[in-house]
Structure 1
């Protein structure tokens, strides 16, 4: 299960490595702001909707070379990049969405479907412990506002975790790579697939895990009633604990500023956040999320990971031409965090669905 060149791969970093060599940050200067605002004004004259925001309809000739470098760093470098310098308070909410889509199109021009209702963009104010957004190549976040305290986002390298698993926790590594993990898929009654959480090839380590969808959901377990979804084995529970421990050990805090656009290689890095407190007045922690794919630099998706990936990007990555795409400008008046999942394309259960309803008395 050894990976070729793993130790020297640029994604095999620790927090100390990144502190010594600054991660990719694209600093937006006054000239860039002028270019963006002129492109925005021109786009608004076209009478097009947000799904039509592309490199062609929103050209950024001065900024595009630096964004191309950032995309390479996401795919072949450290696995993430930050675009910094725009103040979202200067723009209307609709314009913030358009600008985010325009910049994101240079990192990955294909956008993934985030739920059954056609949402291409979601507003996130919460998330769960170490996970991936199963189904997405690139996780893109626009920081609209921050919490008063806490709420930091962390990333951890699957390469670095893999090295320590191989050296010190071989049983846990074998369990994580074994295609025997029951993962719940949308449906009522609940369905599941069997897949590995780590996929190891000659030159890549890919993670695909959402703890809220693994095994028998605790809500079902508490009822004591039957379910077709099996529980995790003791070895699988132990492997998850080891994985979480190592992710925390090697985590790197993203020094997020208001207005930052963050692009994370969702196949290579795990992410999480710490607890936070919002201010008593004014906006609290508010991130806007896109799922992206860049066909030029994209990694080949192994068969074991294709169920959630195709739910986001369509069969063979061809999208969903018949689905009406939605780009909500504002978050819901009352944020309702996902009941069962951190946010995974094939595994989103709508509010009307309940994994326990078939087994209730």
Structure 2
């Protein structure tokens, strides 16, 4: 298959999205009242957040605007911010349930790890990036490179922000893909070939400790991206994994440089209560390094959702929800930092 420019309507540069109002849904007092009514309704139906569906969290007015957000995530700029939830009013559990309820209006939950976490915690869990089994949501302080997660959509809700730093940033992978096709088709072609990824200790029982995915995949005229360079690089610790070629590393270096180019990205400082949603196939995300608060109950803490959107009716097999061994469990992360 010849590589080609894909979905040009979804390309943007920083200047095209400089107006934050284009991609920010500001919750009004009426919206917040609707969310609080939905929270009370959901709690009356079940004591388990994981059992709450969109029907259990009714949003008769706000739901229509969330459908517009979902459409823009898939067929538009690929990222959105929801702002204005007065998170200080709620316990972490209630804030998480509100976030979950909003998420259920955007898609179905997707397991994030071998534990089957459908709602995860992004906070310093004492893990080091040098630990080959650590995962990004467990590591504190250090900057994260641009990457995608293993789902259609990824959402983050800020419960508490860092003392300084920890700025979220997104880069337009679709624009980067198309620029490579136009200017460096030789490197784009390499990124369409399967690359080894480290399972980082979360492989199927008895299976290989690495798997293969291309960075770029075309399917049904759409672009699907999977790019986590640290996991590609750490695959090299396994003797059976194929060695990365100099040309592949040149391609990764160029993608990384383009992600870091301010013309391709947007920075946003998430405030408590803010919810960011990203299309993993068109937008890569990262964060800057941060200094945390020393008190446990003030530490930077975000909740994470991986979601399957109904707006994508066809996906490559490796991009399908509940298709792997992580789906054998259905749980949520139980970290408690607000006490």
Alignment TM-score, normalising by the size of structure 1: 0.79
1:237 to 249, 258, 276: 249
2:282 to 245, 268, 278: 268
How much does 1:138 deviate?
0.3
Work out whether 1:85 is the aligned partner of 2:101.
no
1:113-262 aligned at under 5 Å gives the runs 113-125=111-123, 127=136, 128-133=144-149, 135-179=150-194, 181-185=195-199, 186-187=202-203, 190-201=208-219, 203-215=221-233, 217=235, 220=237, 227-249=239-261, 250-262=264-276
Query: Structure 1's 228 and 331: CA in aligned 2 closer, same or farther, altered over 3 A?
Result: farther
User: Is the Cα contact below 8 Å between 1:176 and 1:197 reproduced in 2?
Assistant: yes
Query: Structure 1's 94 and 329: CA in aligned 2 closer, same or farther, altered over 3 A?
Result: farther
Note the alpha carbon deviations across 1:90-146, whole angstroms, 9 max, x for none. 1112111110111111111x101112222111111364311111x200001111111
Alignment TM-score, normalising by the size of structure 2: 0.83
User: Is the Cα contact below 8 Å between 2:220 and 2:314 reproduced in 1?
Assistant: no
Match of 1:277 in 2: 291
Match of 2:139 in 1: none
How much does 1:3 deviate?
2.5
For residues 5 and 219 of structure 2, what CA distance do their matches in structure 1 show? Answer: 7
Query: Structure 1's 20 and 39: CA in aligned 2 closer, same or farther, altered over 3 A?
Result: closer
Q: Could you say what the CA RMSD is over the residues aligned between the two structures, in angstroms?
A: 2.4
Match of 1:16 in 2: 15
Match of 2:109 in 1: 111
Specify every segment of 5 or more residues in structure 1 that has no aligned partner in the other structure, as ranges. 221-225, 334-361
For residues 6 and 44 of structure 2, what CA distance do their matches in structure 1 show? Answer: 51
More off after superposition, 241-250 vs 80-89: 80-89
More off after superposition, 141-150 vs 123-132: 123-132
Work out whether 1:75 is the aligned partner of 2:77.
no
Query: Structure 1's 288 and 177: CA in aligned 2 closer, same or farther, altered over 3 A?
Result: same
More off after superposition, 55-64 vs 166-175: 166-175
For residues 213 and 330 of structure 2, what CA distance do their matches in structure 1 show? Answer: 29
1:20-59 aligned at under 5 Å gives the runs 20=19, 22-59=21-58
Query: Structure 1's 189 and 38: CA in aligned 2 closer, same or farther, altered over 3 A?
Result: closer
How much does 1:59 deviate?
0.5
For residues 216 and 324 of structure 1, what CA distance do their matches in structure 2 show? Answer: 26
Match of 1:359 in 2: none
